[in-house]
Amino acid sequence: MTRLLKRLRPLFAALLLPAALAAHADDVSLPKKLTIGLLPGESAPTVMRLNEPLRAHLEKTLGMPVELTVGANYAATGEALRFGRIDIAYLGPVTYILQSKRAHLEPFARPTHAQVGPTFQAVLIVPADSPARSFQDLRGQDVAFGDPASTSGTWVPRWMLADAGLVSGRDYSLRVLGAHDAVALAVASKKVAAGGLSKPIYERLIREGKLDAAKVRVLAYSPAIPEYQWTFREGLAPELKEKIRKAFVSTSDPAALGVFRAEAFIPSVDADVDRVREWISVVEREHPEAVTVKP
């Protein structure tokens, strides 16, 4: 009987293999395709174009199809990650903080840059010929912001204004335009008195000729902001997460790193965004009427 079982074992394995593969194919912890969620900081075609080198690099390194998707807004990308419709996402600190209150999300990598490390800044800009020289000069004016969940396009500029004693709805009128480039162009065309956006995006818009540097100037720079985090959805298999993590932190591909202006991707943990949590709490505690985004 023992000899018979040994002879039949390969046959059993062959019979069971298709069922095992079918079950594996339906395993959400090991997707056949990696879906990456991106925030619509600019138009979706622009975001897709800028991130194509990273997509191609990951597809080659991981040996599996990789697809990019851009959310309709910041909240949509965060929600898609929370509900498992995408596998990893590049989230700004505020989007990550708000969504991680609802689900177990795991940051794993972030870009680091020459001189400033894993940080970036926001800017508050005004038309070049604006008489404004300080935040106080914006009282009674229209100020534009990007997506309500954008760290550098909304929360940090609003914190800067709140820290100076200016509250939206009381001291200035808030205009939500949805994207960094829309804010910059609104300021350049004098449709608003000022606008908040990401400093790297502001500089790239000028460099690419999409924003006329002669029509705008920086009124103020923010403190250093913790960088965006690449974040896993809940439920990915540990072996896949480790493979993805290594694909990011080991890359030296200049094309893949280029859009992030990064020297490298380095490991990231939840505590990296604690500074932003403090800024959010200041706005919520001192100026609750200024807060439009609730977890």
Residues of the chain with CATH 3.40.190.10: 34-114+227-272, 122-223
Report the topology of domain 34-114+227-272.
Answer: D-Maltodextrin-Binding Protein; domain 2 (3.40.190)
Pick from 145, 129, 116: nearest CA to 224: 116
* pLDDT tens digits, one per residue of 246-277: 999 999 999 999 999 999 999 999 999 999 99
pLDDT at 240: 97
What percent of the chain lies above the pLDDT cut of 90?
Answer: 82
The single-letter code of the amino acid at 66 is V
The predicted pLDDT at position 11 comes to 44
∠ CA 122-184-174, nearest 5°, is 75
The CATH number, out of the four listed (1.10.10.10, 3.40.50.300, 3.40.190.10, 3.90.380.10), of the domain defined by the range 122-223: 3.40.190.10
- Give per-residue pLDDT as tens, 40-84: 999 999 999 999 999 999 999 999 999 999 999 999 999 999 999
The closest alpha carbon to 228, from 165, 166, 163, 152, belongs to: 152
| pLDDT value of residue 271 | 97
Please choose, from the candidates 234, 295, 242, the residue with its C-alpha nearest in 3D space to the C-alpha of residue 85: 234
pLDDT per residue as tens digits for the range 85-127: 999 999 999 999 999 988 899 999 999 999 999 999 999 999 9
pLDDT for the residue 18: 42
SS3 155: helix
